[in-house]
Structure formats: C-alpha cells, structure tokens
A and B are shown apart, each in its own frame.
Chain A
Amino acid sequence: AQRVTQPEKLLSVFKGAPVELKCNYSYSGSPELFWYVQYSRQRLQLLLRHISRESIKGFTADLNKGETSFHLKKPFAQEEDSAMYYCALGETSGSRLTFGEGTQLTVNP
C-alpha cells in the first residue's frame, strides 16, 4: 500500500536561513509526487509537482527514487513561508492523493 511520511511535525527556522522539509514515500508503482501548502487552515494550494520541475516561490523539490524521497527545499526562508506543508503521492490509477501528516513550518523574524 502507498504511504507518505513526513518525519517532522514542526519545523522552526529563522528568516534567511535554509529550510528543508522531508518527505519519504512507499509505493510499488511509478510515483507522482506533489507538495501542497495550507495557510492558516485555508484551502490547500499546489506548491509544486515533481513532473513539472518548476521552482515556485523559491521552493524546489527533487524526486530521489533510490532513497524514495521528495524533500522540499528553499535556500532563504521568508516569514510569509510560515504554513503547513503536505507532501502527497498520486497513484498510477490517477485517483486519490495520499497525504503525509504535514509539517508546520514557522519562520521567525
């Protein structure tokens, strides 16, 4: 069965510091990985997906199939990055998203 693990529930960094939010997955098929962001319990917004290889708001994520990881990185964190971040796995069949438990990022001034 598919599974997404985000080992850190809480992550706190200072403004300007690098940040890395960890995500590991377990899936027997070819994975489609996403990062979603949720500000103050509002709607989830897609931040990026591995297939597009884009950089959104300075965030990047690389799919490492060997380590089954899809860590989210940003070289210089900003206060407005404070939010809940969810890593999600899309199944081959194309229906459900399986979400990790989420990491609450706080960027301190």
Chain B
Amino acid sequence: ETGVTQSPTHLIKTRGQQVTLRCSSQSGHNTVSWYQQALGQGPQFIFQYYREEENGRGNFPPRFSGLQFPNYSSELNVNALELDDSALYLCAGAKADLGYTFGSGTRLTVV
C-alpha cells in the first residue's frame, strides 16, 4: 500500500473517445502530479496540481486536463483520444520535499 491508489488499473478505449482516470491520495499530499509513461521510456510530466489549482504543465496539448479535489483525490481527463495516447498513466502525491509517492498506474490502450 503506497498511499496513492489509481483506478481503473486497465482501460481500453477507441480513438476519438474521452477518458477519465482517477487518483486517490493520502491525507497531506497537497501536491499531485500526473505522468505519462510509454513502453520502455521514463515518465513524462503532464501537469501538477497544488491546492486544487494547476501549478505547472509539461508539453502536452490542451485535450489533457485535470482536476484536484479538497479530499486529495484528482482526475486526469483526455479528450479526442489518439493511438499515441496508449501508455501507463501515473499519479504521484507529494508532501513538502519528501519525494513522490506513486500509484501503480492505469494502463490505457487506445485502439
């Protein structure tokens, strides 16, 4: 149990559809970051939320959006899915400078 739970664990969607991925973080994780990890690659930063506001964004198009809620949960939404969006999506909670705690990820396959 890492303190960060992601759902669903696996998901298959069709190109053009929309998807919402969820992350539940333990109390005190006031920062949440989302990463995309393609097969054989390191995680690529999508965006970060701090106290429910976007606090930084990587090189991802606007169809990637997110929300953070007061109960430390968050969502990643992706519109108009493309085949290249197939990847492991990781959510990470952080408290101060104590390092990131990652969830096990959601494996998204776009067909």
- Please say whether chains A and B are actual partners in one complex: no
Using CB atoms and an 8 Å cutoff, list the residues of chain A in contact with chain B: none
